Amino acid sequence: MIFSSYIFVFCFLPITLVVYYIFSSGDNSIFQRLFLIFASLFFYGFGNPKYLILLSISLFINYSIALLLQNLISHNYRKILFLFGILFNIGLLIYFKYYNFFITNINFIFKTTFIPQSISIPLGISFFTFQQISFLISIYKKEEEAGSIFNYGLFVTFFPQLVAGPIVLYGEMLPQLNDYKRRFSNADNLVKGICLFVIGLFKKVVIADTISTIVDNGFKISEIGFAAALITSVSYTLQIFFDFSGYSDMAVGLGKLFNIDLPFNFAAPYKSESITDFWRRWHITLGRMLHQYLYLPLGGNKKGSIRTCVNLLVTFLASGFWHGADWTFVLWGGCHGFLVVAERLLGRRLEIIPKKVRIAITFLTINFLWILFRAEKLRYALVMYKGILGLSGIKFWQVSQLAEDGIINFPDIINCLYILMLLLFLLFVVFKCKDSRDIVSDFKATRKNAVCIAIIFCIAVLCLSREVIFIYYKF
Amino acid sequence: MIKRYNKQITSQRWLVNFICSAIIILLFFAVFIFAFDPCFQYRVENRKYFFYERYVAPGLISNYDYDTLVIGSSRAENFDMALFREKFEVKPLLIGIGGMGVKDLTKLMEIAEDVQRAERYYVCIDYSMFLSDRQLVPEYLYHKDILSRWKYATSYEAWFRFIPADICGSIMHVLDIGMPKIMEDKMEIDRYSNWNDYTDSGEKEVISTYVPNKKVLSEFEKEDTLDSMQTEIDAFIDSLNLSRGEYIFFFPPYSCLWWCDVENTGHAEVYYEAKKYFIKRVADKGTIYDFQHAALTLDLNNYCDSGHYDQNINDWMIEQFSNNQYKVTTENINEKLSLMKKNTSEFRKEYLWLWQDTK
């Protein structure tokens, strides 16, 4: 099930919310948690129940390992068990997500003929596996207690964050799950939760899904010229932001509805002054995980300047590979890593460039690299790069094609104006408007904004019929 | 007043305000769509709105006043309804959807049978229909239940595409501001799907756009394809109530170039068998016309690409319907197929260079 669907907005969410708070009237919170776990599993398995088997196995094994880790005294046994747990999770990820990638590359390099399997990637596997790895690490380091199976089950399956994050730490969730007051409905949280959910829904279904037409059309053009390539790449830069930040806003909003504070994933990322700054503002919870569980164990910045650069590069390559089993993702991660290393080496010398120029350069660089992220194959990315560098000509006439959606074909001039106005407006929103975190922190309940949020919600409802899947559901 | 709206209220009051506002707005959407009705789900008004092929088909079949339904893919879209009226003295309705598959055809025929307006059905049969499982018409337009009506009332296409376009079009029409012909046509129920004036035809055009199909079917794939086509044909025919009206099925005249192409890929043998099977299934319950062996299929000047002909051929087909020519039965199908193969073979000899060049 996806957040931006009729069934979620009008059935699943209201029913789950009402039943959840009905259960709060009892003395025992177990029923409430159990209900939320079942609701989350229903959400996850809706449409494809076979994924539930994998999730349940993963949950059961990780929890068992955690209990054993907690109770074992021998340091060696603990270490072996811990390594087994980590390998189990990584193995799961490799099999479901990277198996065909490795087979294809082995066949290519060694001229072997291993047959790729048709393996469908379970929804959100990268997210819940990462979350469980972090859980095992915290138990191994004795930072946390495994706690009850209900708490653990809810920590992994809680539907707002199950499929595409934010990636939550056990230490963040457990105190909230054990907090007695959070069992009962809280009107303030309901209001903030609704606001965030509606803003996220609007970002996703109205903005991101509208621009997706431009992007999809652009990437279909075989000899794209400069004008259409530039518009396509900027459109994708906007699409991925509104899509993923929309999803994250919805997730945080849904968490609030159940009195759970999930971390924000975005902090106005396109206002970044450097690539390093960008990664502090984009997909914050992934960055935090990679920093904590990869960069720091590799030595972080404590082992000299060269080693720091290598560690950064490895972390960014891993980030690219985490996003997808393709060389385009690895290259994308590598390029970001290279730029972060370069910025580190240049240090304060970059500050002589005026701030606005730095923001513009950063935006254009990120925009340029998103092409790698979006292209299904490296050769499609090259076509787009050729276009954006002007090597295929300007070809203004292609711009109008980008707006065609197969429903109504408007005259070329109207299509061009529509694209131009849309992109300028969205760039204004991205650079000049408050982000959702600020909107909610400054939020005051007034009749005016109740009506405004209702209007935004109803406009978003009009776009639900498109049901376009979230970009980050693929990861 | 503005001050009152900006005054801070309790969260409970905020929630009540939000829910009430949302309900009022959503109800407004429903009422507005009921009144405006761009997909003709409640009523049909000619020359008021644009007709969006895929989106108006179920509504037109449900609510238009007709006694003859002409339905099919892009090969049926250029039929001249005025000629139908003149030849047969009927009230025809044309439903043409480019690339229509059997899913949509079955569902549209089901609606037509339910409303019982048509006494006669002209159904264009394309082979590709039985090989495609895609559905071009949104599911909610096929149903009248409250959830489907709700989806229609809050559909993206209606609100963000059709209504703005309809309002602009209606204003231009009322003010008599000249609209491009393609948009004028879209306001005519007889011509909304007609593409004849917007494509070039002739031998040169057909040859220049022809791309030989390279995917050759294996013997196993041929069997598999025929099996699945026969299953789809069965399902389609079983869904029809052939005793309720007069059913006229017709196989449209693809050019011999099209037949050469499907011979090259191995599809032709599958199509011959599928056609025989179809005819066997409906021969005693309906009338079948087969134009695929007609002499005109040899002349590429009648076409705009290998499978699409210009409107003269649609007119010619209406003529044949009225003269009862080109009927096919289980008895004469083999003879007609032989004639078609002979035509294709002659054509191949004449245009052999087409395939030699591509090699």
**pLDDT by residue (tens digit) across A119-151?**
777 888 888 888 899 889 988 888 888 888 888
Task: Check CB contact under 8 Å for A444 and B4.
Answer: no
Distances (CA, A) of A458 to A190, B30, B55, B138, B159: 18, 12, 22, 21, 12
Q: Which chain B positions have a beta carbon within 8 Å of A457's beta carbon? A: 18, 22
Q: pLDDT tens across B204-246, in order?
A: 999 888 888 878 888 888 899 999 999 999 999 999 988 888 9
d(CA A69, CA A76) in angstroms, rounded, equals: 11
Band of the pLDDT at A474, cuts 50, 70, 90?
Answer: low
Task: Check CB contact under 8 Å for A450 and B21.
Answer: yes
Task: Check CB contact under 8 Å for A454 and B6.
Answer: no
The one-letter amino acid at B94:
L
Checking if the pLDDT of A194 tops 80, the result is yes
Give yes or no for A188 touching B (CB within 8 A): yes
Band of the pLDDT at A473, cuts 50, 70, 90?
Answer: low
pLDDT attached to residue A177: 86
pLDDT attached to residue A376: 86
Count other C-beta atoms under 10 Å from residue B280's C-beta: 13
For strands B68-72 and B287-290, give the pairing. unpaired
Q: How far is A120 from chain B (nearest CA, A)?
A: 22
pLDDT attached to residue A65: 92
Give yes or no for A361 touching B (CB within 8 A): no
3-state secondary structure of B338: helix
pLDDT attached to residue A470: 52
All residues at 6 or more sequence positions from A440 whose CB lies less than 8 Å from its CB, including other chains: A192, A195, A196
Strand ordering across the sheet containing B68-72 = B92-96, B68-72, B120-124, B246-251, B287-290
Checking if the pLDDT of A406 tops 90, the result is no
> Taking a C-beta distance cutoff of 8 angstroms, is the pair A215, A236 a contact?
yes
CA atoms within 13 A on the CB side of B253: 27
Give yes or no for A418 touching B (CB within 8 A): no
Percent of chain B with pLDDT over 70: 97
The interaxial angle of helices A327-346 and A378-388, nearest 10 deg, is: 50
Task: Tell which residue, A159, A336, A182, has the closest CA to residue A261.
Answer: A182
Q: Which chain A positions have a beta carbon within 8 Å of B29's beta carbon? A: 458, 462
pLDDT attached to residue A288: 92
Give yes or no for A191 touching B (CB within 8 A): yes
Checking if the pLDDT of A280 tops 70, the result is yes
Mean pLDDT of B300-317: 92
Band of the pLDDT at B359, cuts 50, 70, 90?
Answer: very low
- DSSP string computed for A33-53: HHHHHHHHHHHHHTT-THHHH
> Taking a C-beta distance cutoff of 8 angstroms, is the pair B194, B293 a contact?
no
- Name the average pLDDT for chain B: 89
3-state secondary structure of B152: helix
Q: How far is A34 from chain B (nearest CA, A)?
A: 27
Q: pLDDT tens across A307-344, in order?
A: 999 999 999 999 999 888 889 999 999 999 999 999 99
Mean pLDDT of A142-167: 87
Q: Which chain B positions have a beta carbon within 8 Å of A7's beta carbon? A: none
Q: How far is B180 from chain A (nearest CA, A)?
A: 10
All residues at 6 or more sequence positions from A450 whose CB lies less than 8 Å from its CB, including other chains: B9, B14, B15, B17, B18, B21
Task: Check CB contact under 8 Å for A462 and B4.
Answer: no
Chain A residue with minimum CA distance to B186: A408
Task: Check CB contact under 8 Å for B161 and A462.
Answer: no
d(CA B115, CA B108) in angstroms, rounded, equals: 11
Q: Torsion-angle region of residue B65: left (phi > 0), alpha (psi -120 to 50) or beta?
A: beta
For chains A and B, what is the number of CB pairs under 8 angstroms? Answer: 95
Is the omega angle on the peptide bond into residue B138 within 30 degrees of 0, that is, cis?
A: no
Mean pLDDT of B43-58: 82
Task: Check CB contact under 8 Å for A463 and B156.
Answer: yes
In sequence order, what are the beta bridge partners of B250? B124, B289
Percent of chain B with pLDDT over 90: 59
Band of the pLDDT at A471, cuts 50, 70, 90?
Answer: low
Band of the pLDDT at A359, cuts 50, 70, 90?
Answer: very high
Burial of B82 (0-12, 13-18, 19+ CB in 10 A): exposed
Chain A residue with minimum CA distance to B147: A6
Task: Check CB contact under 8 Å for B21 and A408.
Answer: no
Q: Which chain B positions have a beta carbon within 8 Å of A463's beta carbon? A: 156, 160
Structure tokens at B15: 């929630």
- DSSP string computed for B293-334: T-GGGG-GGGEEETTEE-HHHHHHHHHHHHHT-SB--TTTHH
d(CA B205, CA B196) in angstroms, rounded, equals: 14
Buried residues in A87-119 as b, exposed as e (16+ CB within 10 A): ebbeebbeebbbebbebeeeeeeeeeeeeeeee
pLDDT attached to residue A385: 93
- Which residue is associated with the tokens 């644009």? B50
Chain A residue with minimum CA distance to B153: A462
All residues at 6 or more sequence positions from A245 whose CB lies less than 8 Å from its CB, including other chains: A200, A203, A265, A266, A435, A436
3-state secondary structure of B112: helix
CA atoms within 13 A on the CB side of A370: 24
Task: Check CB contact under 8 Å for B156 and A411.
Answer: no
Higher pLDDT, A413 or B314: B314
Cα–Cα–Cα angle for A349, A350, A356, nearest 5°? 145
Count other C-beta atoms under 10 Å from residue B67's C-beta: 14
Mean pLDDT of A367-384: 92
> Taking a C-beta distance cutoff of 8 angstroms, is the pair B53, B98 a contact?
yes
Task: Check CB contact under 8 Å for B10 and A445.
Answer: yes
Between A165-179, B41-55, B64-78, the lowest mean confidence (pLDDT) is in B41-55
Q: How far is B19 from chain A (nearest CA, A)?
A: 7
d(CA B96, CA B79) in angstroms, rounded, equals: 9
Question: Nearest by CB to B14, which of A191, A408, A463?
Answer: A191
Task: Check CB contact under 8 Å for B138 and A465.
Answer: yes
pLDDT attached to residue B164: 85
Higher pLDDT, A29 or A305: A305
Checking if the pLDDT of B107 tops 90, the result is yes
pLDDT attached to residue A468: 54
Structure tokens at B303: 């076409």
Length of chain A: 475
Give yes or no for A11 touching B (CB within 8 A): no
pLDDT attached to residue B355: 76
d(CA A101, CA A171) in angstroms, rounded, equals: 34
Active site includes A283? no
All residues at 6 or more sequence positions from A123 whose CB lies less than 8 Å from its CB, including other chains: A44, A48, A51, A163, A473
> Taking a C-beta distance cutoff of 8 angstroms, is the pair A472, A244 a contact?
yes
Among A256, A447, A448, the strongest candidate for a mutation testing the B interface, having the largest count of B CBs within 10 A, is A447
d(CA A99, CA B104) in angstroms, rounded, equals: 39
Q: Which chain B positions have a beta carbon within 8 Å of A446's beta carbon? A: 5-9, 14
Mean pLDDT of A175-181: 86
pLDDT attached to residue B2: 60
Structure tokens at A23: 């259960």
> Taking a C-beta distance cutoff of 8 angstroms, is the pair A152, A63 a contact?
yes
- Name the average pLDDT for chain A: 89
For strands B92-96 and B246-251, give the pairing. unpaired
Structure tokens at A325: 């089993």
Checking if the pLDDT of A472 tops 80, the result is no
Q: ipTM of the predicted structure?
A: 0.84
Between A144-158, A191-205, B118-132, the lowest mean confidence (pLDDT) is in A144-158
Task: Tell which residue, B121, B143, B146, B36, has the closest CA to residue B70.
Answer: B121
Q: How far is A447 from chain B (nearest CA, A)?
A: 5
User: Cα dihedral sign for B161, B167, B168, B170?
Assistant: positive
Cα–Cα–Cα angle for A292, A293, A295, nearest 5°? 70
d(CA A380, CA B52) in angstroms, rounded, equals: 33
